Amino acid sequence: MGIRSILVAVLGVAVAGGSAYVARETMNASRATASAPDPAAELVSVVVAGRDIPFGQPIQAQMLQILAWPRSALPPGAMTDINQLLPQPGMPPRRATRAMAQGELLLASKLSDFGEKVTIVQTLGENTRAMAIKVDATTAVGGFVTPGDSVDILMTQGDGQTLRAITILQNIRILGVDQQADEQNDTPGIAKTVTVEVTPEQGQTLALAQKAGTLSLSLRTLDKAVDQPMDSIKLSDIMRDKSPVTETVAKTTIRVRKANAVETVEVE
């Protein structure tokens, strides 16, 4: 009995010691995990526009700022090193291929290489083309069309009773007005040409329409309206004997006596 008691006691001490060791290691691991920084919450330095940067503007140090940004929210192509943006002495600068607002992240996709020529080509979307339209004050919404606006393009064709109009293209982006392509420039002006962004198929339609008739621009609102197919209209469709106002039908009023009450009834 004495030996059995001793063995039981030794076994109990061993179990207690093992439990204490496991508990200690678990607590140490928990502390290590808690003290380790979360990569998703880590902040990195990024370069942002310290002021509005127009299209084609050379990138200069005084127009840039450095901010702390969560690494997990960093978009692809974000510039994190200001030295990648500024040229060495005697070297040509990088330029903005898109207009950028103050506080906006500088992305590689919105910047040219050092010394690269910046033209309207950099503003084109995938598989689109730039095409110019001849306009004047009447056909270009009185000069209120500016780069970045969206328009519908209408064609007027014919003469006299054969005159008709049709909307040939809808929701077309204006790339430039004359030689101005800066979307930050909202100063109206009387233009001679307007450059629009179109697909290859739309470009064919536009080229044919310019030869067939007179093109006019219709400035769209900022609302995301759903475009619907539109039929052409002829001069005869708007030349009516009466103006397009809803006609009011005259009604006759009679009185009907019911018991001790008199009820008024309208009769068409």
Distance of CA 155 to the CA centre of its chain: 28
| pLDDT for 48 beyond 90 | yes
| pLDDT for 53 beyond 80 | yes
Q: How many CA atoms lie within 13 A of 6 on its CB side?
A: 3
Model confidence at 224, pLDDT cuts 50, 70, 90, reads confident
| pLDDT for 226 beyond 60 | yes
| pLDDT for 47 beyond 90 | yes
Least confident of 70-84, 168-182, 237-251: 237-251
Q: In percent, how much of the chain has pLDDT > 90?
A: 31
Model confidence at 229, pLDDT cuts 50, 70, 90, reads confident
187 or 47, greater pLDDT: 47
Model confidence at 210, pLDDT cuts 50, 70, 90, reads very high
187 or 91, greater pLDDT: 91
- The CA distance from 87 to 94, in Å, is 7
Greatest mean pLDDT range, 26-35, 86-95, 218-227: 86-95
Segment 184-207 shows an average pLDDT of 82
Phi and psi angles of residue 223, each rounded to the nearest 5 degrees, phi first: -70, 145
Question: With a threshold of 0.75, does the pTM exceed it?
Answer: no
- The CA distance from 88 to 5, in Å, is 85
37 or 57, greater pLDDT: 57
Nearest to 119 by CA among 147, 149, 100, 97: 97
- pLDDT, averaged across the chain: 79
Residues 65-104 pLDDT 10s? 999 999 888 899 999 999 999 998 889 999 998 888 899 9
21 or 210, greater pLDDT: 210
At 161 the pLDDT is 81
At 234 the pLDDT is 81
Model confidence at 40, pLDDT cuts 50, 70, 90, reads low
